[in-house]
Chain A
Amino acid sequence: MTGVGRHTHDMPDAAAFGAWVAPHLPALSRYAHRLVPAAAADDVVQEALVRAWSRRATYDPARGSAAPWLLAIVADQARRHRTRGPRPTTLLADDALTAGPTEPDVDLERAVARLPHRQRQAVDLYYFVGLDIASVAQTMGCAPGTVQATLHQARARLRALLGDSDD
């Protein structure tokens, strides 16, 4: 980032923060909807924004763009939200019925829910949040090639799960 001048001791402008995060709100909301029940997604996003505001001094643009940083905070808030209440065993499968299309692909949602954590995370970020590979890699803290391999494995596993579900 070029950084115009230095304002180490500036009083922050909440409006500017709001304008800064605004382009990323759709991605944050999508990710929250993948991680928690639909009814809690907005709360998770707002809690994440408050946390991002309070931790904004830790954001270093030299380490990556804003979206992965914000998404990581959303993931953290979602984890905290889940620990506050009972954990449903088929979180995404059931909530696919209350978030997303009126006729969800229930088989696909259930198969995605059965993926190992990292594979599910890659699928959520790439397909449902709509990030590109590089941004997924930043969010997951790995190399782009690893993301591609993880997605490859996830699709192979989904293929097997969906094939099994046809029996």
Chain B
Amino acid sequence: MTDRPDPIDEQLKGYAARWRDALPPPPAVPTDLPTHSAGFGRRGRGVVGWLPLVAAAVVLAVVVVAVRLGQGGTDLGSVGGPTASATTTATSSATATGSAVNNGVVPWVPLPATNPLIPVTTVPASPDPALAQGLPVCRAADLTATSDIEGATGTMYLFVQIVSRTGTAACRLEGFPNVVSLVNGAAVSIPSVHGTVVSDAPGGIYPHPVLVAPDVPAALTLFWSNWCGQAVRQTHVRLTWPSSAGGVTVPGFGQSPGCQMEPGTVVKTPFGVSTFKPAEVRDELVTTAYAGVTATMDAPSVVAVGEPIRLTVTLTAPRDIPLEPCPDILVGDYTQPPDGTNDRYALNCAAVPYRDSAGRPYLPATVPVRFAAEVPAANVGEGTKLLWRLALPDGADPVDAGSATEVR
């Protein structure tokens, strides 16, 4: 799945950060704790065993981000990122240049954008939807199905996996199944609705036919939440689809989910049903050499009217990534029209202190590299929501960071 910036996510992050900053200090641990004979932890592992943990916790409370200028780099641990098969260029060990880096931060220079051509690699969607085209519709008699429940009583997922029996030919499933809720074999009336919001398929809809074979499973997700009223029970779910006699039956949700509304509310929320989909789905991926680079931003929470916003963006790459071609960046208030204050500049690659054997600036694997940036005062409005982004081709995963700054 391709992640795109979510304004709600940015709003929550920005506001929550300000909310935390404004909280008073936490209270102290009470000093009049009563003494008892029980020790820490089950089986009384005792107090002494926790002291190393306490010491470690104190150390972890100190967060240090350092950029080493010189051979090698500070290994701050691997950085997770989306998997990609983009070609990477291996480089030899780093050497530092005498670049004008201020306190480990690549200085900000409003360099004119160069609009470089950033090469892309297109990774086809997996599985290839074309593989299921032209196959006959699966016969229910040729299939077996299992289900697995996940979630607490308030929100439940039912993951269904369908495979065809050994020795049968590949076939296809497509669209939504019809569902019937059963209690010990008897149909019961529990409302359901096609489409569901799950994290692995927008709206729960996979828009292609799905290949099913003995070693290639198809999947379904059912989602149920917020049943307010007399509890009902679903021991099994029977799934049927057009062009097939019979159906497959799998264990159901069991007890209906708990109510998340005020007591006394009666809302019988239907359970959602996704389309058939491959068990593992990956959309077509447009990727660049910058895949996996993460960006974090430090910006002031408050600035005065008329002042620019000076911020720092830290890029961390999962592998050595040459900054060639040197990408443009967008930096500004992303709530403004794109032709307004989302200014575009060239990244100050020349001042990056790391050089490979070919003399190219690059981001060393796992070494945070900090870049200063500035949003001009003229582009700063009340409640500015900042965005710093590498200018990458359409469809590639963005490398960006954002925050909210209050202008007074």
A12 partner, pick from B38, B52, B54, beta carbons under 8 A:
B38
What is the CB-to-nearest-CB distance from B49 to chain A, in angstroms, rounded to a whole number? 4
Q: Which of B6, B39, B260 contacts A9 (CB 8 A)?
A: B39
Which single residue of chain B is at the shortest CB-CB distance from A117?
Answer: B260
Residues 10-28 of B at the A interface (beta carbon under 8 Å):
11-13, 15-16, 18-23, 25-27
Q: A25 to chain B: which residues have CB within 8 Å?
A: 26-27, 29
Q: Known interface pairs A17-B29, A28-B26. Does A128 touch B20 (Cβ–Cβ under 8 Å)? A: yes
Contact A10 B29 (CB under 8 A): no
How many angstroms from the CA of A101 to the CA of B12 in the assembled complex?
A: 13
Interface string of A86-129 (1 = CB under 8 A from B): 00000000000001111111001000000011110001000110
| Residue B48 is within 8 A (CB to CB) of chain A in the complex | yes
Q: Which single residue of chain A is at the shortest CB-CB distance from B12?
A: A127
CB of A108 within 8 A of CB of B54, answer no
Among B29, B45, B198, the residue within 8 A (CB) of A149 is B198
The A28-65 residues at the B interface (CB cut-off 8 A) are 28-30, 33, 42, 45-46, 49-50, 53-54, 56-62
Does A164 lie at the interface of the complex (its beta carbon under 8 Å from any beta carbon of B)?
no
Chain B min CB distance to A137 (Å): 10
Which residues on B sit within 8 Å (CB–CB) of A143? 150-151
B41 and A60 form a contact (CB under 8 A)? yes
Do B151 and A12 have beta carbons less than 8 Å apart? no
Q: Complex: how many Å from CA A152 to CA B197?
A: 8
Complex Cα distance, B51 from A30, in Å, reads: 25
Pick from A60, A101, A149: contact of B19, CB below 8 A.
A101
Is B57 in the interface zone, CB < 8 Å from A? Answer: yes
Given known contacts A26-B26, A101-B18, A101-B22, A14 and B33 CB-to-CB distance under 8 angstroms: yes
Cβ A9 vs Cβ B58 within 8 A: no
The answer to the question of A21 belonging to the interface, with a C-beta cut-off of 8 Å to chain B, is yes
A interface residues, tally (CB under 8 Å): 74
Taking a contact as CB atoms under 8 Å apart, the answer to whether A149 and B38 are in contact is: no
Residues from chain A with Cβ under 8 Å of B42 in the complex: 57-60, 62
B406 to chain A: which residues have CB within 8 Å? 103
* Contact, CB under 8 Å: A45 / B13: no
The answer to whether A127 and B36 touch (CB under 8 A), given A20-B54, A146-B151, is no
Determine which residue in B23, B60, B260, B406 has the highest number of CB atoms from chain A within 10 A of its CB, and name it: B23
Asked whether A83 is an interface residue with its Cβ less than 8 Å from the other chain, the reply is: no
- On whether A8 and B46 interact (CB within 8 A), knowing A46-B27, A149-B198, the answer reads yes
Given the complex, which residues of B lie within 8 Å of A12, measured CB to CB?
35-40, 47
> Taking the nearest CB of chain A, how far is it from the CB of B160, in angstroms?
15
Residues from chain B with Cβ under 8 Å of A60 in the complex:
41-42
Q: Is A85 an interface residue (CB 8 A)?
A: no
- Set A7, A130, A149: member contacting B48, Cβ < 8 A: A7
Whether B155 lies near A3 (C-beta < 8 A) is no
Query: Taking the complex as formed, is B358 at the interface, i.e. its CB lies under 8 A from any CB of chain A?
Result: no
For residue B33, which residues in chain A have a CB less than 8 angstroms away from its CB?
14, 17, 49-50, 53
Distance to closest chain A CB from B198 (angstroms)? 6
Q: Can you list, as one digit per residue, whether each of B189-201 has a CB less than 8 Å from chain A (1) or not (0)?
A: 0000000011100
Name B29's contact: one of A13, A21, A123 (CB within 8 Å). Answer: A21
How many angstroms from the CA of A111 to the CA of B91 in the assembled complex? 50
Q: Given the complex of chains A and B, what is the CA–CA distance between A141 and B267 in angstroms?
A: 24
**Chain B interfacial positions (CB closer than 8 Å to A):** 6, 8-9, 11-13, 15-16, 18-23, 25-27, 29-31, 33-54, 57-58, 60-61, 150-152, 154-155, 157, 197-199, 223, 225-226, 260-261, 406
22 contacts between A and B (CB under 8 A): A1-B49, A1-B53, A3-B49, A4-B49, A6-B44, A7-B47, A8-B39, A9-B37, A16-B51, A22-B54, A23-B58, A23-B60, A26-B26, A30-B23, A49-B30, A57-B44, A59-B40, A60-B41, A105-B15, A108-B15, A142-B150, A152-B197
